[in-house]
Homo-oligomer: A and B are copies of this chain.
Amino acid sequence: MNYPNGIKKDNINKNITYKNRGMNLENDLNITNNYYIENNIAFIYKKPTPIQVVKASYNESGNRVIKEAYYKEPSTTDYNGIYKGYYIDFEAKETKNKQGFPLNNIHPHQIKHLRNILSQQGICFLIIRFTSLNETYLIKADDFIFFIDNKKKSIMGLDYIKEKGYIIKEKLLKRLDYLEIVDKIWRLL
C-alpha cells in the first residue's frame, strides 16, 4: 500500500495512537492521578463502573468468570480522594458540542451527589473537555449547581464556563494538572 509524501505506515500509526491518547480525558486523568499518587501529592482514584452481574461461573483454574452482566448508572461522581487532607470529589465529561455542555450528560443522581458533597464543604467540581475545541475546563460544583437552579436551559453555554471556570493546560508529566487550579480556587497553597 502506498502513502503520500513517502511517509511510512509505522509513523502514521504512531501519530494516530498518540493523538487518540491525548484526546481521551479519562486516560489523561489516569496519567495525572498516577503522577499525584507516585509523588505522594494526592490519592484520587476513578471509581470502577458499577455492573450488575446476572450470570457467573468458575473456570478450570477455579477463578470466577462473569458470563452475563450489565452496566449500571452510577449514583455518585466518578472520581474522589484526598489532597492535603481535604476531601476531593469530581466528575469528568467529554463533549463534542462546541456551544457548551449539554446538561443531560450528568445524571440526576450525580447532581444530588454534588449538592450533598457541597453541604459537607467538600472540594467539588466538574472537569469538562470540549473535544472539538481541544479545551478542558474546571468548573466549581457550586457554579454548576447555580446554573442548573437559575437558568432554565439544557446546555451550560461556553460563555458561562469561560466566565466561571478555569482552563486546564496540558503538561508533559502532570498531564492535566487540575490540582494547581484547586490550590488557587480554594487557596490551599
Question: Which residues of A does B touch, CB under 8 Å?
Answer: 37, 40, 42-43, 45, 47-51, 63-71, 75-76, 80-87, 89, 113, 116-117, 119-122
Q: A84 contacts which chain B residues (CB < 8 A)? A: 120
State whether A117 touches B82 (Cβ < 8 A).
Answer: yes
State whether B64 touches A71 (Cβ < 8 A).
Answer: yes
**CB within 8 A of A83: which of B43, B50, B51, B120?**
B120
State whether B63 touches A70 (Cβ < 8 A).
Answer: yes
What is the CB-to-nearest-CB distance from A34 to chain B, in angstroms, rounded to a whole number? 11
State whether A43 touches B113 (Cβ < 8 A).
Answer: yes
What is the CB-to-nearest-CB distance from A55 to chain B, in angstroms, rounded to a whole number? 10
Docked complex Cα distance between A81 and B68 (Å) = 30
A-B contact list, 24 entries, CB within 8 Å: A40-B119, A43-B116, A43-B120, A45-B75, A45-B76, A48-B48, A51-B51, A63-B70, A64-B70, A64-B71, A65-B68, A65-B69, A65-B70, A66-B68, A66-B69, A67-B67, A67-B68, A69-B69, A82-B117, A82-B120, A84-B120, A85-B120, A85-B121, A87-B87
Identical chains in the assembly:
2
What is the CB-to-nearest-CB distance from A87 to chain B, in angstroms, rounded to a whole number? 4
**CB within 8 A of A51: which of B37, B48, B63?**
B48
Q: Which residue of chain B lies nearest to A88 when distances are taken between CB atoms in the complex?
A: B87
Q: A47 contacts which chain B residues (CB < 8 A)? A: 47-48
Q: A117 contacts which chain B residues (CB < 8 A)? A: 43, 82
Q: A75 contacts which chain B residues (CB < 8 A)? A: 45
State whether B122 touches A82 (Cβ < 8 A).
Answer: yes
Docked complex Cα distance between A65 and B66 (Å) = 11
Docked complex Cα distance between A82 and B67 (Å) = 35
Docked complex Cα distance between A70 and B56 (Å) = 10
